[in-house]
Structure 1
Amino acid sequence: MTPRKLEYGVIPPDADAAFVAHMELVLDTYALPYDCLYPVLNMDEQPIPLLKETRAPIPATKDHPRRVDYEYERAGTASIFMFCEALVGWRQVSVRERRTKVDWALEVAELLRTRYRDAVKVIVVCDNRNTHTIGAFYEAFDPETARALVRRSEFRHTPKHGSWLNVAECELGAMTRQCVQGRRFATIEELRVETAAWQDYTNDKQRSVDRQFRTDDARNRLKSLYPKIKT
């Protein structure tokens, strides 16, 4: 069977025990009360094409919107990393040239050293992309440093076809619509400036994330995903 689409997004075939196990782990994580020593951090990422204008845009006037030529020149790609701590209404947007294991490890390590330096352990919810592994720390740092970072982090992966469970994916979608979509960025620096402005504005507003879908809801509304137990 192929994956189906419901109101939540793409979901797997019926009776998928692995899916529901990871789904309930993530949903239980979201139900945890806030604890600054064990904060819950979501992360997601996406590539963005860099596009240069081939002709200078015509500025907007009172009679016409800004006009841009349909032609453009490709200038490579960039990768946006979105981190979100939903319970406190905080998010961070980072832009890098790539999204390799090392890039990911460097981003997580920086947060552990700065914002979460006093935390005992950070619970990170992310998808199961092959770059999101504890082994990535060992590709970026010496063994002693890598092991110290692993001790202070716990990764809870969303299931395959379950990226819609990731709060950071929702934040990334909002940022894309409000800041990136329909615009051309010629350099990584330009993209960094604009995404940083979105980040600061959104954090200043302290827009929290109200995720109301819980384990009981999953068991009632997604019954077909749960294996039928023979008695």
Structure 2
Amino acid sequence: MAIKYIVNLSDEERSLLWNITSRGKTTGRIVKRAQILLLADEGHPDETIATMLKVGESTVHRTRQRCVEEGVQSALKERPRQGRKRQLDGKTEAFLVATACSDAPSGRESWTMQLLADRLVELNLVQSISDETVRRTLKKNQIKPWLKEQWCIPTVGADFVWRMENVLDLYAQPYDRDYPQVCFDERPCQLLSEKRIPLPSQSGQPERYDYEYKREGTCNLFAFFQPLARWRHIKVTNQRTAQDFAECMKDLVDVFFPKALIIRVVLDNLNTHTPAALYQTFPPDEARRILRKLEFHYTPKHGSWLNMVEIELSVLSRQCLNRRIPDRETMKRETATWALERNRQHATVNWRFSNQDARVKLERLYPQLNLS
């Protein structure tokens, strides 16, 4: 079969193509076209070149044709591709984003990709569209309609501010053994036992445990945390009544800090966290004796993030409580071991948020005064 497009390269063009094939500093497609042109220049037919380079004869033919008609440089380059027409124009894309940010339809918890695709078709904005196209469009706009974050939105004002600054001012004070700072809080825990013995981990296989479990009741963990002394203690009780709180305060005074002049306690506004709890539990003289050595610093409502013991409880949950613990005795033993190890490591919280930081970063929370 006669060759329709004859490739005759100049010495300069031949040198250029040899450099491309030998250096390997360009794409594979350009190297392959350069090899086709060099072989064509030697007089090889299309089918021989196709066999030698393992490409289609049509590829060889098109490369020859472009070289003859448009030159070597044009034959090496990719032709511009038209590309697929966009399914969503700017207006339709904006509608999709707005719909994904709106309330989900009745009977649904959130928008899905298929629901959004069906809505666009239903409103005749597009003839058809896949859920994958919807997903890519939302990803480009950083929209995740299935994701919700739980957030505490406080009602702020002067009361929030003064309580916050009171706690932050306390945190700014240095360590004083006569006036220890203690952060206090509690959290409930379920007691769960295994119905079947878990299978231990082996090489190439993780530990396996059955999804079924048995409920064994609940208990409560009271957490004491002294950041400046790098000390914490966990007390396990059956419940968290006002009497339990009063007993914890008595422990602070008589067991943990018997030589302290005043114990400054940071705690939240739970209805049991009041001096009245001590009068409900002890005789008046005893309640008064304990309260003389306590100074309560309450975090603002919805401001529990200001209590450093919340961070410590989060560590406890991740390191110790993220498993099934069957009874209170095991809970006491495990939490005591955890606290002892943390105390040995001298672990603490490096609190850096001050009143000066609050007045800048949380300026919107402060009352706006009209001083004119």
Secondary structure of the residue aligned to 1:38 is coil
Answering whether residue 144 of structure 2 is matched by residue 10 of structure 1, we say no
Q: 1:114 is paired with a residue of what secondary structure?
A: helix
Show the counterpart of 1:3. Answer: none
**2-structure distance, mates of 1:207, 1:74:** 33
1:173 aligns with 2:306: no
For 1:125, the equivalent position in structure 2 comes to 266
Write out per-residue CA displacement over residues 31-57 of structure 1, whole angstroms, 9 at most, x where no aligned residue.
111111111100111000111211121
Deviations 1:20-79 (A, max 9, x none): 110000000101111111111001110001112111212222332221110111111111
- Deviation for aligned residue 1:104: 1.2
Report whether the alignment pairs 1:44 with 2:180: no
Q: CA deviation at 1:11?
A: 4.8
Secondary structure of 2:152's counterpart equals strand
User: Over alpha carbons, which structure has the higher Rg?
Assistant: 2
Structure-to-structure mapping, 1:39-78, within 5 angstroms: 39-78=180-219
Task: Indicate if the aligned counterparts of 1:11 and 1:162 stay in contact, CA closer than 8 A.
Answer: no
Q: Which residue of 2 aligns with 1:6?
A: none
2:186 partner SS: strand
- The structure whose residues are more often helix, as a share, is 2
In the TM superposition, what whole-angstrom CA distance separates every residue of 1:82-116 from its partner, at most 9, and x where no partner exists?
11001011111111110111111111211210221
SS class of match (1:209): coil
2: CA distance, partners of 1:186 / 1:209: 30
Structure showing the higher strand proportion among its residues:
1
Partner residue, 1:143: 284
1:211 aligns with 2:351: yes
The equivalent of 2:132 in structure 1 is none
1:193 partner amino acid: R
Aligned to 1:220: 360
Gaps of 5+ in 2: 1-150
AA matched with 1:96: T
Q: Secondary structure at the match of 1:77?
A: strand
Counterpart position of 1:4: none
Residues 1:87 and 2:228 aligned together: yes
Paired residue type of 1:178: Q
AA aligned to 2:350 is D
Task: Using CA pairs under 8 Å that are at least 6 residues apart, name the structure with larger relative contact order, 1 or 2.
Answer: 1
Amino acid at match of 1:102: Q
Q: Are the aligned partners of 1:12 and 1:225 in contact in 2 as well (CA < 8 Å)?
A: no
Shift of 1:207: 1.3
CA 11–20 in structure 1, closer or farther in 2 if over 3 Å, else same:
farther
Matched position secondary structure for 1:91: strand
Letter in 2 for 1:219: R
State the one-letter code of the partner of 1:211.
Answer: W
Is the Cα contact below 8 Å between 1:41 and 1:125 reproduced in 2?
yes
- Gap regions ≥5 residues in structure 1: 1-8
Please give the alpha-carbon distance, in whole angstroms, between the structure 2 residues aligned to 1:135 and 1:65. 51
Give the equivalent residue in structure 2 for 1:108: 249
> Secondary structure of 2:235's partner?
strand
Does 1:23 find its partner at 2:134? Answer: no
Amino acid of the residue matched to residue 109 of structure 1?
A: K
SS where residue 34 of structure 1 aligns?
coil
CA RMSD of aligned residues (A): 1.2
Match of 1:201 among 341, 344, 358: 341
1:98 matched to which residue of 2? 239
Distance 2:335 2:255 in 1: 20
Contact 1:53 1:73 in 2 (8 A): yes
In structure 2, what is the Cα distance between the partners aligned to 1:63 and 1:36? 52
Aligned partner of 1:33 in structure 2 is: 174
Distance (Å, rounded) in 2 between the aligned partners of 1:157 and 1:80: 20
DSSP 3-state at the match of 1:79: strand
Letter in 2 for 1:68: Y
User: Which one is further off, 32-41 or 62-71?
Assistant: 62-71
